[in-house]
Amino acid sequence: MRIAIVGAGALGLYYGALLQRSGEDVHFLLRRDYDAITTQGLRVFSVNGDFTLPHVHGYRDPAEIGTVDLVLVGLKTFANGSFSELIGPLAGDSTQILTLQNGLGNEEALAELFGEQRIIGGVAFLCSNRGEPGEVHHLGEGRIVLGEYRLCDRERVEHLAAVFSKTGVDCRVTDDLKRSRWEKLVWNIPFNGLCALLQQPVNILLAHDACRKLVREIMLEVIAGANAQGLTRPIAEGYADTMLKFTDDMGEYKPSMQIDREEGRQMEIAAILRAPLAYGRQQGIDMPRVEMLATLLEQVTR
């Protein structure tokens, strides 16, 4: 399979490296890592074992890649306005587009440009960070849940899941992509939001009883918002406790929004917080703690 990675950050570099190592024909659209990767290769430091890809296809312009079978989108959501220029040159008649981005609204934006039938959504539960140019650090997890934006051909998604499974990634298929997106938001909203606001990693946050209680309360608001969205089955309140236990095992992990704030980059407030708030309000669900968190994050970015 000929694959283009658009958004070669911690997520795109990690999954792209696994796909290339497993034998797929992978092409990376690069920015800051271009010189390092095209001259020295790509280094992956992983809890599952380190490896290096000495030869990587790297490009600055998507037109140099040409059409592909699959576009894997790992862009930060605030870059979605560049979908047309970055993905358009890669899309042939049969090209599929997989977004592994955070938050809500990404499949809708891609479908409007490239057609609903092409779009596959993926929810990646991945702990990874960027290192020096040309390297990525995989700290844990990595499983992916895949689903069609519009149900039409489950077999193609199962084939794609098999491609990821071949790399060693736990990859499964769902018929309720919306539910999987909201399940990740149960984690993403409190931890990305609070860690970015307080500039503290997850273990420091959970070490304080009052903060741990606040995290759980935010999770329950998100679960209430999710369950108003017409899911095939509701998310149980106990899922919040599962996510807390899951996070306890992460150690000193910094979510992506915390790193973005520390490095002076734009944060994904719109997709991760504002979009879920809007979907909740449409169904009559208020999330006051999430609203406060979004407001405070917007204030510190001014």
pLDDT in tens, 204-229: 999 999 999 999 999 999 999 999 99
Q: Residues with Cβ < 8 Å from 287, sequence gap 6 or more?
A: 221, 222, 224, 225, 276, 277, 280
Stretch 186-193: mean pLDDT, rounded? 98
First to last CA, the chain: 44
User: Hey, do 2-175 and 178-300 end up sharing a CATH topology, with the first three levels equal?
Assistant: no
Upper half-sphere CA count for residue 280 (Cβ side, 13 Å): 22
CB 42, CB 12: distance < 8 Å: no
Asked whether residue 140 carries a pLDDT value surpassing 90, the answer given is no
| The CATH fold of domain 2-175 | Rossmann fold (3.40.50)
Q: How confident is the model at residue 299 (pLDDT cuts 50, 70, 90)?
A: very high
Task: Say whether 166 is catalytic.
Answer: no
pTM: 0.94
How do residues 73-92 score in pLDDT, each as one tens digit?
Answer: 999 999 999 999 999 999 99
Q: Out of 76, 166, 178, 184, pick the active-site residue.
A: 184
Which CATH superfamily does the domain covering 178-300 fall into? N-(1-d-carboxylethyl)-l-norvaline Dehydrogenase; domain 2 (1.10.1040.10)
Give the start-to-end residue ranges of the domains of the chain.
Answer: 2-175, 178-300
